[in-house]
Amino acid sequence: MTVCEAPGKVYLFGEHAVVYGEPAVPAAIERRARVTVEPRADDHVRVTAADLSLDGFTVEYAGTVDDPPDVNVPASLVDAAMGYVDAAVRQARAAADAPDAGFDITVESDIPLGAGLGSSAAVVVAGIDAATRALGVPLDRRELADRAYRAEFEVQDGQASRADTFCSTMGGAVRVAGDDCESIDAPSLPFVIGFDGGAGDTGALVAGVRALREEHDFAADTVASIGDLVREGETLLADADPTVSPSSELLDGLGELMDFNHGLLAALGVSARSLDSMVWAAREAGAHGAKLTGAGGGGCIVALDPSPETPTALSFTQGCVEAFRAELATDGVRVVEP
């Protein structure tokens, strides 16, 4: 039995634009998905999802999911969740040159499903790592991140970026631009997360931005502007000392860019009333900045605030079902004792 866990993430800036080669800066957070893998004698895969913000389900299959679990979330989310597990299994089998390997897999997660915190990336990264280790062929982190990206690319019909999977693999803050991925130094930022209890359709949202960008020059300019503000944010982080608490000046600078980023994402049509309400509640509570995180359409916002004011304000905001702090996860994927 092999158990691996990988962190979720928030975007400081850059989601959606990263699909078009612009830079993005996601940061890993201490909300994790844990995947337990045990090889089995046949070629079947038995998946138990103990907690993916679902009621919990078990399904056994041989290569495809023909009998979807009965749970009280949209079928598209369930199909996607199982698709990610399927793709992770295929990548692990290919890496180990074991096309007929079977597994008993248990997935546990405290990352809301489809909410913009990288739940799928964390499951895929932890799943591939655990499965390849169980087969005796552990991967180095670069190859693991690459195979996890390929799994997401497959499930998302070619619209994935490397940002989520690279961040979940490496931990900390990372900078991603196209195929260029690197870890960057960042202080431990005071993240506050607001969750509306919902989820956006990543594929549809990405496709919507693509359609706008192809139809309107100003939409393409909006995407490019997101890239410009990411580069400015990188400069602020590069000038900061990662070993000390972030200064108010740094938080003000990053927060201003986050506010701009949210406005640009809203202009591209990927925000939602619940997300906007939480963003404004955070700002009015004194947060240095706030924005949606992830694909949008519902899910989570991230704010910067070391005080208790923002989580308190969010907890009283209509449409927010959960507000919590999230520490920077300096460790990426890791093996844990079963």
Active-site residue set: 164
Those residues with Cβ within 8 angstroms of residue 253's Cβ, 6 or more apart along the chain or in another chain = 233, 236
Which has the closest alpha carbon to 14: 279, 225, 274?
Answer: 225
The β-bridge partners of 9 are 28
DSSP state of 137: -
Residue type, 175: R
3-state secondary structure of 266: helix
Tokens describing residue 142: 């670069």
Residues 147, 165: Cα–Cα separation, whole Å: 9
Which has the closest alpha carbon to 303: 8, 11, 6?
Answer: 11
* Alpha carbon 242 to its chain's center: 23
Is residue 316 classed exposed, middle or buried when 0-12, 13-18 and 19+ CB atoms within 10 A define those classes? exposed
- Could you count the other beta carbons within 10 Å of the beta carbon of residue 241? 11
* Alpha carbon 312 to its chain's center: 24
Which has the closest alpha carbon to 289: 250, 333, 336, 323?
Answer: 250
Those residues with Cβ within 8 angstroms of residue 217's Cβ, 6 or more apart along the chain or in another chain = none
The beta strand positions in the chain, using DSSP E, are 2-13, 25-40, 45-51, 57-61, 102-109, 173-177, 180-184, 191-195, 289-292, 300-304, 322-326, 334-336
